[in-house]
Structure formats: C-alpha cells, structure tokens
Amino acid sequence: VSPRFVKIVEVGPRDGLQNEKSVIPAETKIEFINRLSDTGLSVVEATSFVSPKWVPQMGDAKKVITGIAKKEHVNYPCLTPNIKGLDSAIEAGVKEVAVFLAASDSFSKKNINCSVEESFDRVKPLITKAQENGILVRGYVSCVVGCPYEGPISARKVAEVSKKLYDMGCYEISLGDTIGVGTPGTFRELINTVSQVVPLKALAVHCHDTYGQALANIHCALEMGVRVVDSSMAGLGGCPYAPGASGNVATEDVVYMLNGMQYETGVDLSKAIETGNWISEQLGKTNGSKAARALTLK
C-alpha cells in the first residue's frame, strides 16, 4: 500500500442515521449504501445489530444488510455490542463486525449498560467467536478526549483500553472523539501515547465535528502517520448517548482536503457530493459538508 493512500471508513449509514428521529425506510438506507459503494469507498459501515429498544433506528439491520448490492471490493462492517448481535450478524452473512467500548465508565454505562471493565468480559468471547467464524473485528474506543458526563479523559486511559482491545484481536482501533472536543493539541498527545502501545498502522481516527475541529485533528493524525479516517457523507451523525454531539466530519470535506494534499483515497469527489446531496434531500436537511455546498453552487 502506498504511503499516500488513506483508507476512508464511511460511517454515514450507521453513525449518521442511528441518531435520526424520523423513521428512515430500509429502502432508503439500502439505496444510500449502494450509492456509497459506487463512489470508490472501500469500507461502508452499514448498520448495527444492537437492541432495537435502545436504538430503534437500527432495528432493520438484517433487512438492510441483506438488501444491499454487495460489491466485491467493498467491506460492509456492522456494529455488534454482544454475542446476540454477533449471532444475528453471522446469520445475515456479515464478514466484518465492530465492537465498541469507551474510555469512560459513565459513557459506557449510558451507551451499553455496563462498565468499561465489564465491557471487556462481554467483548472477549465475541471476538473469539467472530474469529472462529472467519469474521474480522474492528474496535472502537469512545470518548478518547472527553466524556459528556466525566469531562476530560487522559490519553493514558485511552492507550490502556486500546491496547487491551488490540491484544484481544481487533485488527484496527478507531479512536472516537465522540463529542468532538479534541484539538490538534490533545490529538497530538493522544496519538503519541496510543501509538506507543498499538501500531500506528492499526489506528483510525473518528472525529465528530461538534467544535469545528475535525479536519484540523485529522490533519494532525495524518502528519503523525495515521492512514485510516472515519467520516460520514454530508456530515450526518451523532450518538444517541452523547447529548449535543453533532455529526461526524463530512466525507466530502475529508476527500477535498486529502485531494489537495496529494493523498490517494480512491473516492470520486463528485460522486460523493451527489450521494451526500441525495441523502440530505431524503432526510430534508441541508448538506452538512462545506465542500459539497460550495461545489454544488458553482
């Protein structure tokens, strides 16, 4: 892989749509994922096999993942919080799952109803079973800079959780700035600290843009050698258990920046913009990507 290649993990259909109040028909989600697959993205996180009592918007996970036109060179990971979710994912033919933990106990309890320590007990057998079934496992760590309930989180704590998750068998660790409070200052320290215990090539950054710092933080991570970036078309997103958290950084904006820096992503910016405009229209929203708005008006 070229050192100029940056893998973009599109999280719009999952992180983007999980927070929407109105019911989005499975058909719309399916078409969104199919359109995303045609932009050149190599990873499209499709849905979550979580409890529909907790996140009703993802209650159609099976319908969505079995309804899409899967492309050979695109991965469609799905979130699984427990063995029950993994079993449903296996049944639906999923090839990659993602587990999600937090660096903060309070957030962990709100999001998955257990402490960080307990979440490892939950995730360990899940990873083992996934591996037995030939399924890759990605790991998310939430609240890597700050927690909506506890405030600042230390990079040391994040490194500890990330290492444990990596050692358990996650091939990639996505560092989630759930509430978007990070700056290049805190990100530099975060990546410095975490990369001492997890290889840089196994790290991803997952930036919510609540404070408008996402692109700056991604730029900082790239300069430090990170080559995997999570983003969401049209800047959709938020977490139901992180009040006030805004969307993820917009994929169109990330691609625009990376193009300008001569990084390769494989993503066709004009197709991405079309897709972002399409989903925004479906949701009755303004496209949250600044690059998309500027280039659409042109």
Residue whose tokens read 């499209």: 44
43 vs 156, 243, 253, 258, CA distance in Å?
29, 27, 17, 17
Does the protein bind ligand HMG through residue 193 (CB under 6 A)? no
Show the site string, 39-78: x = touches ligand HMG by CB under 6 A, - = not.
---------xxxx-xxx-----------------------
Cα dihedral 206, 140, 201, 2 sign: negative
Structure tokens at 209: 């843009």
Amino acid symbol at 184: P
Do 189 and 24 contact (CB within 8 A), yes or no?
no
Interacting residue with ligand HMG among 35, 206, 227, 293 (CB under 6 A): 206
Does the protein bind ligand HMG through residue 125 (CB under 6 A)? no
The reply to whether 220 belongs to the active site is no
Candidates 78, 147, 170, 239; catalytic one = 239
Interacting residue with ligand HMG among 16, 139, 148, 176 (CB under 6 A): 176
- CA–CA separation, 62 and 26 (whole Å): 10
206 φ, ψ to 5°? Answer: -130, 95
Residue 149, contacted partner among ligand HMG, Mg ion, none, CB below 5-8 A by kind: none
Does the protein bind ligand HMG through residue 85 (CB under 6 A)? yes
243 φ, ψ to 5°? Answer: -55, 135
Nearer to Mg ion, 149 or 295 (CB): 149
Binding residues among 8-37 for Mg ion as defined by CB under 5 A: 15
Interacting residue with ligand HMG among 37, 47, 108, 142 (CB under 6 A): 142
Size of the site for Mg ion (CB under 5 A): 1
